[in-house]
Copies of this chain bind each other. A is one copy, B any other.
Amino acid sequence: MVKGIKITTIGGGSSYTPELVEGFIKHYDELPVRELWLVDIEAGKEKLEIVGNLAKRMIEKAGLPIEVHLTLDRRAALENADFVTTQFRVGLLEARAKDERIPMKYGVLGQETNGPGGLFKGLRTIPVILDICKDMEELCPNAWLINFTNPAGMVTEAVLRYSNIKKVVGLCNVPIGMEMGIAKLLDVDHSRIKIDFAGLNHMVYGLDVYVDGESVKDKVIELLTDPNNTSFVKNVKGLGWEPSFIRSLNLLTCPYHNYYYKTKDMIEKDIKKAKEEGTRAEVVLKLEKELFELYKDPNLAIKPPQLEERGGAYYSEAAVRLITSIYTDKGDIQPVNTQNNGAIASIPNDSAVEVSCVITKEGPKPIVIGDLPIAVRGLVQQIKSFERIAAEAAVTGDYDTAVLALTINPLTPSDTIAREIVDEMLEAHKEHLPQFFPKKEAVKA
């Protein structure tokens, strides 16, 4: 039997795939991928062909013996996989556009991890991911599930809580983006920066930050109070923290914290932007069309630079370094979403957290944090509560539970608005929420 790794990517037709392929090419020496299976559904067949052929050209150009398989047969793709990565989007960008547009009518943010957008993306995604887990139990019980699909924290929580797959890691490019941002801020190479991360997906804080092992947090906080320096991730522009707030918070924030500490400004900004240029999904839809046009070019055999505007900066970096460290038992430290197990006090042990971990062949082992600073303990728990109850609603299809999840979300202005949004969004996403409409014929993603 040929030695080497089998990687299966669910949602392989995604515009992100060339990122991932580029990563596998770059790191082939450490991570000898033998087979890459790109899987998609019927509706994504055309994109799968386009992006899959680009992937083949990239690998051919690199002169590497990686086989690329394109398929709509998920079970065939999963069989004996070593790593399963998920980057699918139930309902495609069209569903995301609804996640954004509908809440705005009620003056509420519809971002895809936060608030109603995140709730409904979770409700659509979790049943599919649990189905994949069932297949994995049967077809590749020793594989690692590396989940990129948002809301990544809620999805990881659901897998830990409702599936038998324990080898699951949720991955996000926000922490690596924060490292890159800090590196740029301090004008040092990324490799010299280390951050102690703790929190949840899209709600992660940097407890301390080091250059060459020496803490530089005080210096960074000082620089961060300068409103021109707070933008780390291109598609969530920083608005500039109040110096008094960030000094006393004394933590590194992630871009998504703007939604919680600048709620009013963010929603106003998003509504304005949606009017002027369309919502993020609508913008991305356009971008993607252009990208796929580029991908079609039979002479293209590299990741086109335009992909970087798509928003997944460092995505390939994060994915490949995680898979490589598991495969090689490297023992380096990376921030991932994994079971808490006591790393963060006051978050339940069985819940998913995003935290700096040692990455070994046995998966991520969290470094102990103790407790989060008192100022953020409540907010982090509140988002965790939202994630847990949303995951429960996704599994049970219980209407009241969905209303509860949205009502306790700190971005929701009232229980009544929560109920109204749930009503309208359930209707809008009906096709992808069979668990809420049990009498109708279920339509699965």
Q: Mark A351-390, 1 if CB is under 8 A from B, else 0.
A: 0000000101110011111110011111111111110110
Q: Counting CB contacts under 8 A, is A437 at the interface?
A: no
When C-beta atoms are compared, the residue in chain B nearest to A267 turns out to be: B413
Q: Compute how far the CA of A362 lies from the CA of B417 in the bound complex, rounded to whole angstroms.
A: 38
Q: Are B341 and A403 in contact (CB under 8 A)?
A: no
> Is A404 on the interface with B (CB-CB < 8 A)?
yes
Looking at the assembled complex, report how far the CB atom of A197 sits from the nearest CB atom of chain B, in whole angstroms.
12
Q: Which of A46-54, A244-252, A287-295, A305-313 contacts B (4 or more CB under 8 A)?
A: A244-252
A interface residues, tally (CB under 8 Å):
72
Asked if B329 and A343 make an inter-chain contact with CB atoms under 8 angstroms apart, the answer reads: no
Q: Does A164 contact B (CB under 8 A)?
A: no
Q: Is there an interface contact between A410 and B410, defined as CB atoms closer than 8 Å? A: yes
Q: Distance in Å from the Cβ of A311 to the closest Cβ of chain B?
A: 24
- Interchain residue pairs with CB less than 8 A apart (28): A194-B360, A210-B360, A213-B360, A215-B362, A241-B415, A242-B419, A244-B400, A244-B404, A244-B422, A245-B400, A248-B400, A248-B401, A261-B407, A261-B415, A263-B414, A264-B413, A341-B370, A342-B343, A342-B369, A343-B368, A375-B385, A375-B404, A375-B408, A376-B408, A378-B379, A378-B408, A382-B382, A410-B410
Sample of 10 more A-B contacts, CB < 8 Å, known A213-B362, A381-B381, A382-B382 = A213-B361, A242-B415, A244-B403, A245-B400, A248-B403, A262-B415, A341-B370, A378-B379, A378-B382, A378-B383
